[in-house]
Amino acid sequence: MINLYPGTPEEILKPVKTGFVVFTLVAAFLTNLLPWSGWGLLVRPDFVVLVLLYWCIDQPRKIGFAIPWFLGLLMDVADGRLLGEHALAYTIVAYAGIVLHRRVQRFSITPQVLHVVPLLLLNDVIVLLIRLLAGYGFPGYWYFMGSVVGALLWPALSYLLKLPQRPRLDPDHG
């Protein structure tokens, strides 16, 4: 199970496979590309930044900056936005994740969510600033909704993404 109490001994996990990291990022990208509409669109978190942030905190040496930047660029083209908008936001969020990873890793899941909320909001704010500078209007406060929903998905996400790392229970030493 998830280590809910800091101070209790941590479980020993298997190393992460690079293939799995790539798979989750592609899956997150595809989830973003789903034809969301109506309420779904309002509460839809940015899955790519969520998964990126997870890996930046969990495996800071695996992600680096080129991957977030490139994924951001792809997202910009897919959404028909200004080129570089998401690229910049993802890169900065990845940096924040890498810098904060030791701190965030020490916390249990609930305080981790509290760390993730501002990081996801940072992503929104960067995009918002770029758009305001480019002359677009403020879209309304529901614009930040996706990030809050995304942070609430964090416990489920970190459970799911850790699954392949958990060692199988040994029936002899159960």
Partner 1 sequence: MAHTPEPFFNTGPSPFVRLLFFALLSLAILILDARFRQLEAVRQVVSVVLFPLQRIAAAPVSLFERVSEFFVSHGELRAENARLVHDHGKSAILTHKNQALEAENAHLRKMLQAREQRKEPLTLAQVLYTGRDPFSQRIIIDKGTQHEVQNGQPVIDAAGVVGQVTRAYPLLAEVTLISDKGHLVPVLNVRSGLRSVLVGTGQHGALEMQFVQQNADVQKGDQLVTSGIDGVYAPGLPVAEVVSIETNPASTFSRVICRPLGGVGNHTRLFVVRGSEAMPPRPAEDAEKGARSRRGRKGG
- In this structure, the dihedral spanned by the alpha carbons of residues 83, 127, 161 and 118, taken in order and rounded to 10 degrees, is 160
Q: Which is nearer to partner 1, 80 or 167 (CB)?
A: 80
51 binds partner 1 (CB under 8 A): no
Instruction: Give the Cα separation of 86 and 132 in Å (integer).
Output: 14
User: Residue 132: enclosing H or E segment and its boundaries?
Assistant: helix 109-133
**Contact pick of 136, 159, 160, 166 for partner 1 (by CB under 8 A):** 136
- Three-class secondary structure of residue 28 per DSSP: helix
Q: Site residues for partner 1, window 61-120 (CB under 8 A)?
A: 64-66, 68-69, 72-74, 77-85, 87-88, 91-92, 95, 98-99
Q: Site residues for partner 1, window 16-35 (CB under 8 A)?
A: 29-35
- Three-class secondary structure of residue 120 per DSSP: helix
- With CB under 8 A, what is the number of residues at the site for partner 1? 43
Q: Which residue is listed with tokens 């199970």?
A: 1
Task: Count other Cβ atoms within 10 Å, centred on residue 173.
Answer: 5
Shortest Å distance, C-beta 130 to partner 1: 7
Q: Which residues bind partner 1 (CB under 8 A)?
A: 29-37, 41, 44, 64-66, 68-69, 72-74, 77-85, 87-88, 91-92, 95, 98-99, 130-131, 134, 136-137, 139-140, 143
